[in-house]
Amino acid sequence: MRKIVLFLLIAAMLVPLAACGGGPAKTPADTAAASGTAADTAPEQPKTEAQLRLDSLPERDFGGGELHIASATQFGEFDREQAKGELFNDAVYDRNAMLEEKYNITITSEPFSQTDAIGGSGRQLENRLREDAMAGDCTYQIAVDAPYFMYGTATDGIYRSLTTLPWLDLSASYWD
């Protein structure tokens, strides 16, 4: 189950990198082809980079399960309830919609405040993750924060390494 969750994390991080690419504007030939009135000789539109990346991911069906993401408030890449005509918001919304459809899941995100970030003792996200781990609870499948702030919980051994995923390709151009 943890490998699947990490797989979804990676997928969630990959799609927004390409989601802004978009496709070419529709031409009259495209409109006619969609209505069935144009000749079938029109060339097929190439897939966007986001579509190619999504197609390269393994097929899975999670039966309508939920993917819960806990994130520090400065990371807004995960939860967008609707398209608003804003580039970033809509890219996140589109990515989530594609992943939800492909994997038959519902993605939810809960932001956590960064109070007392310097001292760390008031960090709501890390405190919640520690509490869940000590209780044996798996409320969140993905946790997102700056690595500096996750060091304490990482040394507690409550995270799984992404490098354990057999299909993860860290040599791909989208990894920094």
Question: What integer pLDDT is reported at residue 11 of this predicted model?
Answer: 62
Q: Dihedral of the CA atoms 115, 119, 120, 124 (nearest 10)? A: -20
Question: What integer pLDDT is reported at residue 122 of this predicted model?
Answer: 46
Where residue 145 falls among pLDDT bands split at 50, 70, 90? Answer: confident
Question: What integer pLDDT is reported at residue 149 of this predicted model?
Answer: 77
Question: What integer pLDDT is reported at residue 63 of this predicted model?
Answer: 94
149 vs 17, higher pLDDT: 149
Question: What integer pLDDT is reported at residue 65 of this predicted model?
Answer: 93
Question: What integer pLDDT is reported at residue 165 of this predicted model?
Answer: 77
CA nearest neighbour of 107 among 98, 116, 115: 98
Question: What integer pLDDT is reported at residue 61 of this predicted model?
Answer: 92
Per-residue pLDDT of 82-135, as tens digits, reads: 778 888 778 888 888 888 999 999 998 888 776 554 544 447 888 888 888 888
Per-residue pLDDT of 31-80, as tens digits, reads: 555 555 555 566 788 877 777 777 777 888 999 999 888 887 666 667 66
Question: What integer pLDDT is reported at residue 64 of this predicted model?
Answer: 94
* DSSP symbol at 86: -
Question: What integer pLDDT is reported at residue 171 of this predicted model?
Answer: 81
Instruction: Detail the DSSP E strand segments found in the chain.
Output: 65-72, 105-112, 142-144
Question: What integer pLDDT is reported at residue 34 of this predicted model?
Answer: 56
Question: What integer pLDDT is reported at residue 153 of this predicted model?
Answer: 82
